[in-house]
Structure 1
Amino acid sequence: MHHTWMRYFSPAPVHHRLGLACLGVGLQHGELPTVGPRTLDHHVAVVVSAGGGWFRGPDGHHHTVTAPALLWLTPGVPHHYGPDPSWDECFVDFTGPATATYTELGYIEPDRPVVPLSDATGARATVGRIARAARRGNPLLEVETGAAVHELLVALRRARADLAPDGDPVLHALARDAFQPLSVAEHAARHGMTPAELRAAVRRGAGRSPKDYLLGIRLGRAKELLAATELPVAAVARRVGYDDPAYFSRLFTRRVGMAPVRFREQQGRTLPGGWSDRIPDPDDPPMIEPPHAT
């Protein structure tokens, strides 16, 4: 005995240009029939939230699936799977040019078709929103469901059992020390790691190199200082870890697309005397309260 609900869509070419287009959504539970062997031309994320079963890829290797778990079905890759004897699942079919970027960042893992999850609640909630948006006659269907696929990939990344929701201790330590003038090798030594081990850890947790991860944090803080204070550019450079203001300016310009002084002209929000002692702490953002009824 099994229960199945599903909807499929045909987004227009313009919707594919949004980056991700949702092609279908479904929720199923019980003694479901076996899927495949088959090969698809698009991506599918299958979230198993209860029960268990098995999965076989093109190499014939048998993977045991124990909920909560994620099955990645990727284009051109044969797959064959099913519950044993039953499971609860939800799935989302999607496509679009952004899938290549999400794969590069490690959010989609073609080489790991079965991914243990710590909790499927967040992913199922996002799939539920896609299902509700799938009502017939919804004029926002393609945009609303496409946006939710982006949210689903974040929820699935956050739910991976091998990663803490907001990154592992190495990433937290790098963020804490980001403004110190340390090389990647020096950061690695602080953690008792080789540079190669640090690169692998940051790539696994953040989908980028340590150098790029640190640069993103440094430039983000530099933008805040440029927009909210009257500190000279040289002082901003020193505060984010660069002793050479000329090097900082070249780096900022190359990455941001404009010089620090130009960024300040566009984004500056300073008052006479500066806001140096009133810059919000990035780790303690202000709460935006809804307006009170009158």
Structure 2
Amino acid sequence: MYHTWMRYFTPSPVHHRLGLVCLGVGLQHGALPTVGPRTLDHHVAVLISGGGGWYRGTDGRRLTVTAPAVLWLTPGVPHHYAPDPATGWDESFVDFAGPATATYTELGYIEPDRPVVPLSDAAPARAAVGRIARAARRGNPLLEVETGAAVHELLVALRRARAGVGPDGDPVLQALARDAFTPLSVAEHAARHGMTPAELRTAVRRGAGCSPKDYLLRIRLGRAKELLAATDLPVAAVARRVGYDDPAYFSRLFTRRVGAAPIRFREQQGRSVPGGWSNRIPDPEHPPTITARPT
């Protein structure tokens, strides 16, 4: 016995220009029928949150699927899968498409080379699928935009829940972020973590979708922007604080990457903040608010 609920959508060409659209959503459980062999022209994330089964791809190997896990079905790639007929599984799926899928693949959020990816926790991804299912009510005027936005959330939730990644993220990326403002080469960063430069590049590419150099640069420039906007520090002092001993090199790098020179960025974004900005991240459930004075 099994239970199936699904909805399919047809976003307009205008919605496709948003970059990512949801084409369908389904919630199923039990000893579901075998899927395939088949080939699709779009992406599907199949979230397995309970039970187990198998998956067979283009190489013919039969891979064991144990919840929690995600099956990545990618365009043009034949696939074949099913739950264990004795136990079944709990499945939710989301069909999606759009030009943003290429970028998500490049960044490592979608993994065509790993069709079966173990997860540490399926709950956040299930919550994103639930938002799509709720938006799928008949007559919802925001259907296409609401479901498309939830697909972005789903991809982030699946990336964060990838097995081997802790709640605070990849330990290699955490360590790099901690040391980002130290003037070290990539080889020196790798040695600090007991890795070769090639191993560090592979780990960062897998975790952040970019090279170690680019990952460090993003962190450094983000901090430089904060210092330029919220302090009166000279550009040379800002450069030193984010790991660059040569202020001229920092200025050229900043200008090339940001599109404006440090001084110009400060003119546009500068805010007088006596004492500096707070380092405390606001609680999303209780953000800072203006409390009305009693009359």
After TM superposition, the score normalised by the length of structure 2 is: 0.95
Q: Provide structure 1 residue ranges, at least 5 long, that are not aligned to the other structure.
A: none
Map 1:51-62 to 2 at 5 A.
51-62=51-62
| One-letter identity of the residue aligned with 1:139 | P
* Aligned match of 1:280: 278
What residue is the counterpart of 1:234 in the other structure?
236
- Structure 1 distance, partners of 2:89, 2:291, is 46
5 Å matches for 1:79-228? 79-85=79-85, 86-228=88-230
How far has the Cα of 1:77 moved from its partner? 0.2
Q: CA offset at residue 290 of structure 1?
A: 5.2
> Any conservation in 2 of the 1:55–1:80 contact (CA below 8 Å)?
yes
Give the alignment's Cα RMSD to 1 decimal. Answer: 1.4
How far has the Cα of 1:193 moved from its partner?
A: 1.2
State how far apart, in whole Å, the 1-side matches of 2:55 and 2:197 are. 36
Residue 31 (structure 1) aligns with: 31
TM-score (norm 1): 0.95
SS of 1:174 mapped into structure 2: helix
- State whether residues 30 and 90 of structure 2, in contact with CA within 8 Å, keep that contact through their aligned partners in structure 1: yes
Distance 1:93 1:158 in 2: 20
> Which secondary structure does the structure 2 equivalent of 1:5 belong to?
strand
The residue type paired with residue 58 of structure 1 is T
What number of residue pairs does the alignment pair up? Answer: 288
> Who is 1:75 aligned against?
75
On the 8 A contact 1:163/1:205 being kept in 2, the answer is no
Structure 2 letter corresponding to 1:280: S
Structure 1 residue 134, shift from structure 2 partner:
0.7
Whichever residue aligns with residue 175 of structure 1, its letter is: A
Separation in structure 1 between the aligned mates of residue 269 and residue 261 of structure 2, nearest angstrom? 12
Q: Structure 1: which amino acid aligns with 2:276? A: R
Counterpart code for 1:285: I
Is the Cα contact below 8 Å between 2:165 and 2:171 reproduced in 1?
no
Contact kept? 1:167, 1:206, Cα under 8 Å: no
Code of the aligned partner of 1:91: F
Amino acid at match of 1:50: G
Matched-pair identity in %: 83
Question: What corresponds to 1:2 in structure 2?
Answer: 2
In structure 2, the residue corresponding to 1:197 is in which secondary structure? helix
Following TM superposition, by how much is the alpha carbon of 1:164 offset from its aligned partner in structure 2, in angstroms? 2.2
Are 2:275 and 1:267 aligned? no
- Structure 2 CA distance, aligned partners of 1:259 and 1:219? 12
- For residues 210 and 269 of structure 2, the distance between their equivalents in structure 1, rounded to whole angstroms, comes to 28
The one-letter amino acid of 2:152's match is H
